[in-house]
Structure 1
Amino acid sequence: MKKPQVRLEDYASWVKAMNIPLTARRADLLRRYLDELWEWNLKFNLVGVSSYRRVLEELLLDSLVPAPYLSPRGDILDVGSGAGFPAIPLAVCRPDLHMNLVEPSARKAAFLRHCARTLGLDTVRVQEARIEDLPPAPAHGGYHVVTARAVAPLEKIIGWCAPHLHPDGRMFCFQGDRPDRVITRSRQAMSDAGLRIRERGAHHLPGDRPRRRLLSLSRLPEDFIQQKGSGAAGR
């Protein structure tokens, strides 16, 4: 990444408009997180984005969009956490939530643990594993929120994450401006997992960045799933 020429304070109006709970202390923690990412990325190439501005706008700010909508109950599962987006920014802005990060890369998992220690994020737990290899949650257990950003195609994310979602939980998936084709390809996966799309929230990042979408998925009502199963059996 090139030497930073922008500051988080430059985006105060955008943060306010998005209702993101960013205090001065939390902004300082996010700056420290970006500093750590800067240093580690010089050695290990944790992210492919080449400039500090793009990291701040496209990765960090985008990661903060769900922060106002997360329920204060239960744990959050972040799948394929990579260099920490969206999990670390969300953990900073929502310290009331417990974040469980799953990342298969040993190097990236080490970076995530380092950030949790350095920033004092006691609510962050890092597991070096593939989400596909983790056992599914009990029937009435699971995470109240599951997040996934730039991990895999949506249909794969659904297949991997649905077994870990609480019956009353929500899954947040970060997408580009035109998710219709992605959603169409994922219809069967959603049906198999008993999920539906609740919202297709659109937001603009600062500057000339393309519009982004935050898909919110939830489980279908149990009686609907049972009726669907009965109908299929009767055909």
Structure 2
Amino acid sequence: MDAIMDAAPAPPRARAPRATRTARRLGWLVPTAIIALGLIPIIANALRRAALSMGAGGAGAEPAAPLTLAVLLHIVGATIFVILGAFQLSAGLRRNRPAWHRTAGRLLLGIGLVAALSGLWLSVSSALAGGSELLFVLRLLAGTGMAVSIVLGFAAIRRRDVARHRAWMIRAVAIGLGAGTQVFTLGLGEAILGETELSVALLNGAGWAINLAVAELVIRRPKRRGRPSAARVAALP
């Protein structure tokens, strides 16, 4: 009898409901979209530098910014912050890998502040070199807002206030993604309004404003109240 039981095939594993499988797929769309948007300005800048190095930019092309320490810190810091931050916003990953979420969150705290502070450093350097005053103010607000959001998010999770922690970190990631959205606002806006100091500043500001508007919609979106799972029902007294 034991031999027969050992030889019997194992019962098939129950498949998750279709709604659950769809929700899991959709849950990965947000991190994927955030990473894609964050990589757009990096790829565009790399292609631009490659074109200028080969002389394809033309005689009137604007030279790319030199790779100073501030530029490197900002690019590397913002890239890591956006990519890791995208995974941090995945509800499934937070639920299934809480230890990873905490470890990555501690890493993001320092990296995000590096990205924000180096961005402020670059803004001041650009203003001292005679850049647009309005663009300087907008960059100052964005860099400060990102740094403050990260600090407030950290303070909230120290108080075990998960809702406020989530809200502030979503805002920080939204500001960090500003460069990705600005690729579109600048590209489309300059084709319509032309390229002036005022239009460039306003179109840069539009990139941050769009991201923050989307972030607030996500934060204020009412949560769905699903039916409790069988395990949770069984655990009820």
TM-score by length of 1: 0.23
More helix per residue: 1 or 2? 2
Q: Which has the higher contact order (CA 8 A, sep 6+)?
A: 2
More strand per residue: 1 or 2? 1
CA radius of gyration, larger in:
2
TM-score by length of 2: 0.23
